[in-house]
């Protein structure tokens, strides 16, 4: 993971780190809009339909210092016509024009950045599993803490992650981000 982050350009790295540091589903990060970010109060809101019944659920989370820096940097480069936090410019084959919008072809995104890093391609959802593994193995977080952090309704789903903000996620988020800060500063292998 360190190699991938080092090979990524700043926009790619922001997206990868946001997924890794929040433990969010990739769709939750890609669909983040500026109305979901409160830099003054250091809160971000994640929206998902991964609920019983498929209704949209929004959860508020405390923003670590590292996430604050990512979102602040994104805000400084905010696109005036794109409401998404994570956007990029790409050539649309459909309209045969260059346009700016949220990330849509994430398979090609990971393929490119992994190739540049010289590592085997992985799916972005694996970052969610990596976050959970770090919290379980290095932070000794309980299944209950992981369940709240990952926003799983069923503990059995969390157990799948563990085996391989609400304010209650602050401890897990803080630990994960301190761990990642330490690893990313030293460039140590293992992440």
143-152, 154-163, 177-186: the lowest-pLDDT one: 154-163
Judge whether 65 lies within some domain.
yes
Reported as a single tens digit per residue, the pLDDT across 82-127 is 999 999 998 888 999 999 999 887 888 899 999 999 999 998 888 8
- Domain span including residue 73: 2-186
Judge whether 169 lies within some domain.
yes
CA angle 85–112–5, rounded 5-degree value:
60
CATH number of the domain enclosing 159: 1.10.443.10
> 185 pLDDT band (50/70/90 cuts)?
confident
Number of domains in the chain: 1
Judge whether 73 lies within some domain.
yes
Give, in order, the Cα–Cα distances in Å from 18 to each of 64, 115, 127, 176.
Answer: 11, 21, 10, 12
**Strand partners of residue 100:** 89
Judge whether 191 lies within some domain.
no
Backbone phi, psi, residue 57, to 5°: -125, 135
Could you identify the residue written with the tokens 């659920």? 57
Q: Is the pLDDT of residue 167 over 60?
A: no
Cα torsion 128, 131, 137, 140 to 10°: value is -110
Q: Name which residue leads in pLDDT, 29 or 164.
A: 29
Judge whether 141 lies within some domain.
yes
Judge whether 33 lies within some domain.
yes
Beta strands 57-62; 43-48: pairing state: antiparallel
Q: Read off the pLDDT of each residue in 117-142 and give the average, rounded to a whole number.
A: 87
Say if residues 188 and 9 touch (Cβ distance below 8 Å): no
């Amino acid at each position: 993971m360190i190699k991938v982050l080092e090979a990524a350009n700043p926009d790619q790295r922001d997206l990868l780190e946001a997924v890794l540091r929040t433990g969010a589903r990739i769709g939750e990060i890609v669909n983040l809009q500026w109305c979901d970010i409160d830099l003054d109060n250091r809160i971000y809101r994640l929206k998902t339909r991964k609920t019983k019944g498929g209704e949209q659920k929004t959860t508020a989370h405390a923003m670590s210092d590292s996430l604050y820096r990512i979102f602040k940097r994104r805000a400084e480069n905010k696109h005036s016509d794109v409401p998404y936090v994570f956007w990029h410019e790409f050539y649309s084959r459909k309209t045969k024009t260059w346009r700016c919008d949220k990330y849509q072809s994430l398979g090609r995104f990971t393929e490119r950045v992994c190739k540049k890093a010289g590592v085997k391609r992985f799916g972005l959802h694996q970052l969610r599993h990596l976050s959970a593994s770090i919290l379980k193995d290095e932070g000794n977080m309980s299944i209950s803490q992981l369940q709240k952090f990952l926003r799983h309704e069923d503990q059995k789903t969390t157990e799948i992650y563990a085996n391989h903000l609400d304010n209650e996620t602050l401890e897990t988020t803080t630990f994960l981000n301190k761990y990642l800060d330490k690893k990313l500063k030293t460039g140590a292998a293992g992440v």
